[in-house]
Amino acid sequence: MSAGQRTGGVAAVFRDAESESWSCRAAAGRRLAAMAGQKEFEPVLERLVLDLYNTAVTQETVEALLERGDLVGLRLVLAALSRAEEWCTADQLDGDVFNYQSWMIADGRGDQFAQQLEALATDEDAGVREEAMRLLGSGPEAG
């Protein structure tokens, strides 16, 4: 793929992220999640995670970010969770993170999840730090 094709593809994803169609926004969230880690994508990803008009957009974008299984995806979800203004969105995001934690534990990667949270507990973003510390305090070993 040439640089021009890549640039055109990114422009199309950004355009889809602004679409009135929830399914276009959800698809854009999935595609952008695969490219997460590049600063210019973060505001668009956060907007899709906190989509005001359709929870399916939130669900698709969050699932794609968490399916990465890495610090980048989890960090973006925790950042959005810390900024969620609507109770229902915060509840949905919290449930998605809980499901991710359960999946990591069931997959034998509970230690990896704890390590991700420990790393995020020192993040430069106060919201990410607070969410990571909250989750570290509510894990199975905290009980």
Instruction: Report the predicted TM-score, pTM, of the whole model to 2 decimal places.
Output: 0.87
Q: For 10-58, what is each residue's pLDDT tens digit?
A: 899 999 999 999 999 999 999 999 999 998 899 999 999 999 999 999 9
Mean pLDDT of the chain: 90
DSSP state string for the chain: --HHHHHHHHHHHHHHHT-S-HHHHHHHHHHHHHTTT-GGGHHHHHHHHT-SS-HHHHHHHHHHHHHT-SHHHHHHHHHHHHH--SHHHHHHHHHHHHHHHHHHHHTT-HHHHHHHHHHHTT-SSHHHHHHHHHHHHTSGGG-
Predicted confidence band at 1 (pLDDT cuts at 50, 70, 90)? very low
Predicted confidence band at 110 (pLDDT cuts at 50, 70, 90)? confident
Q: For 66-76, what is each residue's pLDDT tens digit?
A: 999 999 999 99
